[in-house]
Amino acid sequence: MSDLKIQPVNGVSVKESVIERETDRDTPKSKLNRRSTLQTFEDGVKRYGSLSHLSLYTGATLSFIDIIFDILMIQEYYETKQTAFANATICCIVVSLLFQFILVLVQNR
């Protein structure tokens, strides 16, 4: 391949991009799928810029709003003496958090 004078796109030259693709073809898929979440996020930031940050912060904000409403709902259940529903909601939240924690552990091995 000849050395062409092509301007880099998004900070990556065409030659570097071609080399990365050729390297990816030689790498077994099992190793390609083991990219860390942080690397994937960094790639998204490089490729899409602030859009990936917007997605991240939107998801985090919705998650916080959801847990606030869950807490208010649990409080309402206890005030109306519906402890079974309150305990069931707490159990669902705990199971969900444990499942997410396990997924994070497995992904970052």
| Domain spans in the chain, listed from the N-terminal domain onward | 36-107
pLDDT digits 0-9 by tens, 55-88: 778 888 999 999 999 999 999 999 999 999 999 9
Measured CA to CA in angstroms, residue 65 lies from 4, 53, 70 at distances of 52, 18, 9
Over residues 50-54, the mean pLDDT reads 66
Predicted confidence at residue 102, as pLDDT, reads: 96
Distance of CA 23 to the CA centre of its chain: 25
pLDDT digits 0-9 by tens, 15-38: 555 455 555 555 555 555 555 666
Q: Residue 107: is its pLDDT beyond 60?
A: yes
Measured CA to CA in angstroms, residue 71 lies from 1, 65, 96, 106 at distances of 62, 10, 15, 29
User: Do residues 24 and 32 lie in contact, with contact meaning Cβ atoms separated by under 8 Å?
Assistant: yes
Alpha-carbon span 93 to 97, nearest angstrom: 6
Alpha-carbon span 64 to 56, nearest angstrom: 13
What would the two tokens of residue 48 be? 């899409």
Please tell me which of 51-55, 58-62, 86-90, 104-108 the model is most confident about, judged by mean pLDDT.
86-90
Alpha-carbon span 72 to 30, nearest angstrom: 44
Q: How many CA atoms lie within 13 A of 80 on its CB side?
A: 10
Predicted confidence at residue 35, as pLDDT, reads: 59
